[in-house]
Amino acid sequence: MKPAERLKIPPTSMPEQDPKERIHNVREVPLGYTPEMAMVEAQRCLQCKTPFCIEGCPVGIDIPGFIRAIEQGDFSEGVRVLKQKNLLPAVCGRVCPQEEQCQAVCVIGKAKKDPTKAVMIGKLEMFLADWERKQGELATPPEVRKTGKKVAVVGGGPAGLTVAGDLIKYGHDVTVYEAFHKAGGVLVYGIPEFRLPKAIVQAEVDYLEKLGVKFRYNFIVGKTAPVAKIVEENDAVFIGTGAGLPRFMHVEGENLLGVLSANEYLTRANLMKAYSFPQSDTPIVNGRTVITVGGGNVAMDCARTALRMGAERSLIVYRRAEEQMPARLEEIHHAREEGVEFHLLNNPVRLTGNDKGWITGAELIRMELGKPDASGRRRPIAIEGSEYVMETDILIVAIGNSPNPLVPSSYPELDVTNWGGVIVNEVTGQTSVPGVFAGGDIVLGAATVILAMGHGRRAARAMNLYLSSGRWTDLEDSLELCRAEVR
């Protein structure tokens, strides 16, 4: 098919649950492409000689390669190409911000001067991963020669799972230490079922176990066992404990009952399945009116979850305008479809409660936008005298997270930043301790799944070199080895 003909093909919309129906269940909102839909969408790819989409992908997936396989109807080949660089395609196809990464640089989107017209790379990735899972048994790579080297991965989130998957294929003995009773990190405790079904995450974990990765659950490194002991017992260690420390607003009344962090609210609703209470053992605070403070994906998740938990009104309060919201456009769109109310250019300054200590309202102040701040977004400025009170039963704080402090605080040998992130070499992921590497949100702060996976891939490559070189003794050695490996 000629490029001019491909350019005429419109984007293929993915079917979704009706908004009026889906707010009463936790089933996944997108229903997925049929094979025919996927093949039509794949025909839109120009197979560019210079594929900018690969450069836009943090893990460097051969995007034209797997799309070409879909167009030809060879889905097995598409999966093979996809999994060369991404062990969690079913996850990434659902939750990664493709519109800011691979799809943002798609030539078709640029040609049409409309990024929403780019090839639907994420949806095609989701299709391939789902197609493979529906076939039943996932293919297992051939066995590799064992090296006898032991590796500990601290934290079973996206970065840790990526490291584990890569290092097991190199032949190393890998054990993942996970604080929760399930692996997946933010994929299982933070992202709602209706956006990422937990059975999909479990299938990816099962695949890693099939490869030989061992998992130790309910194991808190730094509590169950000292960090130093884990380091001593292994030839290399990767720290991927994420950004699980919630940030708060530090306003009067924030300690009232009914004020929750997004972490607690979503962990109860997702990992602990409070949406099915009393069939599950975990209760959750419900309210008729629920305010979520924040403008990111986590805030959208909380607001949409509140509706599914029975809220009559679910409101987003955000101190900037919609153009400055960090949430994905798709998440904002889905939230609006479901009836979430947006109160933009507003910010809480005080929370009010009753004589029993329960929140009854949030005093908000109206904001206006000034000049851009360090984030590049226009700075919100309070409008003096514009305060008013909005009644609420529950308020959820979703304004971000900081790196999990447990491992750094219990292992002072690690160098950390002023905000608690572990300091690593950007090329290798190596920390200040020889043989100890780190990546993902414990380094980046709260970021995206695919960026965490990119950190994991980089660290796994460096760790394999460290384990096999026999001469990596300092930073210069590590950099030179990694540069040589890339070359």
The mean per-residue pLDDT over the stretch 378-404 comes to 95
Q: Does 383 share its domain with 408?
A: no
pLDDT at 3: 86
- Is residue 291 over pLDDT 80? yes
Strands 359-372 and 346-353, by their bridges, are: antiparallel
- Is residue 485 over pLDDT 90? no
pLDDT at 477: 57
Question: Taking all residues of the chain, what is their mean pLDDT, rounded to a whole number?
Answer: 91
Residue 177 located in a structural domain: yes
Residue that terminates a domain, selected from 399, 434, 449: 399
Q: Does 321 share its domain with 289?
A: yes
Residue 141 located in a structural domain: no
Q: Does 394 share its domain with 423?
A: no
Query: pTM (2 decimals)?
Result: 0.88
**Rg of the chain taking only CA atoms, in angstroms:** 23
Lowest-confidence segment of 45-59, 83-97, 360-374, 393-407 by average pLDDT = 83-97
Lowest-confidence segment of 226-230, 394-398, 468-472 by average pLDDT = 468-472
Q: Does 227 share its domain with 172?
A: yes
Percent over 90 (pLDDT), the chain: 72
pLDDT at 478: 57
Q: Please write the tens of the pLDDT for every residue from 30-86.
A: 999 999 999 999 999 999 999 999 999 988 999 999 999 999 999 999 999 998 888
- Is residue 487 over pLDDT 50? no
Using 50, 70 and 90 to split pLDDT, how confident is the model at 450? Answer: confident
Question: Strand pairing partners for 343?
Answer: 317
Residue 446 located in a structural domain: yes
Q: Does 266 share its domain with 383?
A: yes
Domain span at 86: 3-134
Q: What is the CATH number of the domain that holds 307?
A: 3.50.50.60
Q: Does 124 share its domain with 16?
A: yes
CB environment 141-158: b (16+ within 10 A), e (fewer): eeeeeebebebbbbbbbb
Residue that terminates a domain, selected from 358, 379, 399: 399
Q: Does 477 share its domain with 378?
A: no
pLDDT at 476: 54
pLDDT at 142: 66
Using 50, 70 and 90 to split pLDDT, how confident is the model at 112? Answer: confident
Q: Please write the tens of the pLDDT for every residue from 314-369.
A: 999 999 999 999 999 999 999 999 999 999 999 999 999 999 999 999 999 999 99
Q: Does 282 share its domain with 385?
A: yes
- Is residue 297 over pLDDT 70? yes
How many domains, the chain? 3
The mean per-residue pLDDT over the stretch 212-240 comes to 96
Question: Strand pairing partners for 346?
Answer: 366
Q: Does 210 share its domain with 71?
A: no
- Is residue 207 over pLDDT 90? no
Using 50, 70 and 90 to split pLDDT, how confident is the model at 484? Answer: low
pLDDT at 481: 55
Residue predicted with more confidence, 133 or 446? 133
The mean per-residue pLDDT over the stretch 117-143 comes to 85
pLDDT at 110: 85
Two structure tokens written together for 59 = 């893990």
Q: What is the CATH number of the domain that holds 48?
A: 1.10.1060.10
Q: Please write the tens of the pLDDT for every residue from 241-273.
A: 998 889 999 999 999 999 999 999 999 988 887
Residue 139 located in a structural domain: no
Lowest-confidence segment of 114-128, 287-301, 435-449, 471-485 by average pLDDT = 471-485
Q: Does 287 share its domain with 229?
A: no
Q: Does 355 share its domain with 410?
A: no
Cβ distance 63 to 26 under 8 Å?
A: no
Residue 173 located in a structural domain: yes
Q: Does 379 share its domain with 282?
A: yes
Q: Please write the tens of the pLDDT for every residue from 463-477.
A: 999 998 755 555 555
Residue 480 located in a structural domain: yes
Q: Please write the tens of the pLDDT for every residue from 136-180.
A: 765 566 677 899 999 999 999 999 999 999 999 899 999 999 999
Residue 277 located in a structural domain: yes
Using 50, 70 and 90 to split pLDDT, how confident is the model at 377? Answer: confident
Residue 411 located in a structural domain: yes
Using 50, 70 and 90 to split pLDDT, how confident is the model at 486? Answer: very low
Residue that terminates a domain, selected from 110, 134, 158: 134
